[in-house]
Chains A and B, each alone.
Chain A
């Protein structure tokens, strides 16, 4: 096979991988952020977080994150992403035991992670230097 052709394939592959990563990261973090903000809105002025509605939303957040984590593991270090999963698991427990202060703290962390993980995932100029 002609070397020039192989190099072209290589270039297309590299561009494709970068594009795929950026799309996956944007979609994952965007979705998690919107779900987390939705939960935040619904529990804002409430001290009852063990309602079926809140628990369902948290479960949905967990399922969604697990789904995206499986995809993001192809592009990012597992260790870098584990914090998100840990906080979501904490939210599940806090919701079940109605620890609303701790729940809201974890929720804030989840929102923070969803807003800042793109500093080391996907295309990030901060990460170059």
Chain B
């Protein structure tokens, strides 16, 4: 039994390592070769766990080989458009200004019902609203709406708005994020003073503290409501 436990832990750690190596693409929308890889990896991982007479290497080596293959294919797909087209295919326009492209649907083996379902998932319930619909290489459908049907923007309403900035998390669950402290122009002591000013004795009492480029702070103590503090500073964050 202990062998199975140790192997299960080993495989789990290895899988974590494998998915980290393959990058965030695996966790988001997958290309066909990535989908194949994910299917196989799940199966390979169970080999050393389920059967003790099989050496652990019989699960580990194929897993690592597939990671290497994935890396090589990704590099080749990045370097060569032709190779990328062979491996992943290309996006296909299935709805254009004239309507549904029936030939394209047939090529993709998609029915009209499937197309309508995908268009609804994009937030458009009628083909009247759609100017173009594209089936991407990972199988998702992206929709470009007609101008009259597209959401209204501030530009359309001629509203001037100041650019917002990306908040940086400084304190998370009671601890300072030392990596993010390097991204802002303020020091740890500055934030300690902010906490003191807001009657917070220890940083471990803080659930979250974020700051953006204009010095707007979002602060929340654990088991307490949040508050926003506007310091009206300039260029607090070092990112561009």
Contacts and interface: CB of A to CB of B under 8 A. Distances in A.
Interface of A: 3, 6-7, 10-11, 13-14, 17, 73-79
A73 B55 contact: yes
Given A10-B68, A17-B57, 19 more contacts: A3-B21, A3-B71, A7-B68, A7-B71, A10-B67, A11-B68, A13-B64, A14-B61, A14-B64, A14-B68, A17-B61, A73-B55, A74-B55, A74-B57, A75-B55, A76-B55, A77-B55, A78-B53, A79-B53
Nearest to A81: B53
A127 B58 CA distance: 14
B199 interface: no
Say what secondary structure dominates the interface of chain A: helix
Contacts, number: 28
27 contacts: A3-B21, A3-B71, A6-B21, A7-B68, A7-B71, A10-B64, A10-B67, A10-B68, A11-B68, A13-B64, A14-B61, A14-B64, A14-B65, A14-B68, A17-B57, A17-B61, A73-B55, A74-B55, A74-B57, A75-B55, A75-B57, A76-B55, A77-B53, A77-B54, A77-B55, A77-B58, A79-B53
Contacts of B71: 3, 7
Contacts of B55: 73-77
Nearest to B58: A77
Interface string B51-84: 0011101100100110110010000000000000
B59 to A, nearest CB: 12
Nearest to A17: B61
Considering the complex of A and B, which 6 residue pairs feature the smallest CB-CB distances, nearest first? Answer: A78-B53, A79-B53, A7-B71, A10-B68, A77-B54, A74-B55
Nearest to B22: A3
A25 B238 CA distance: 58
A97 to B, nearest CB: 31
A76 B57 CA distance: 9
A77 to B, nearest CB: 5
Nearest to A6: B21
A10 B62 CA distance: 12
B25 to A, nearest CB: 13
A7 B67 CA distance: 9
Nearest to A80: B53
Nearest to A18: B61
Nearest to B61: A17
Contacts of A75: 55, 57
Contacts of B65: 14
Interface in B36-51: none
A78 B58 CA distance: 12
Nearest to B70: A7
A6 B54 CA distance: 27
A2 to B, nearest CB: 12
Nearest to B52: A78
A118 B67 CA distance: 27
Interface string B5-31: 000000000000000010000000000
A11 B21 CA distance: 14
Contacts of A3: 21, 71
Nearest to B17: A6
A7 B71 CA distance: 8
B46 to A, nearest CB: 16
A3 B68 CA distance: 11
Contacts of B67: 10
Contacts of A7: 68, 71
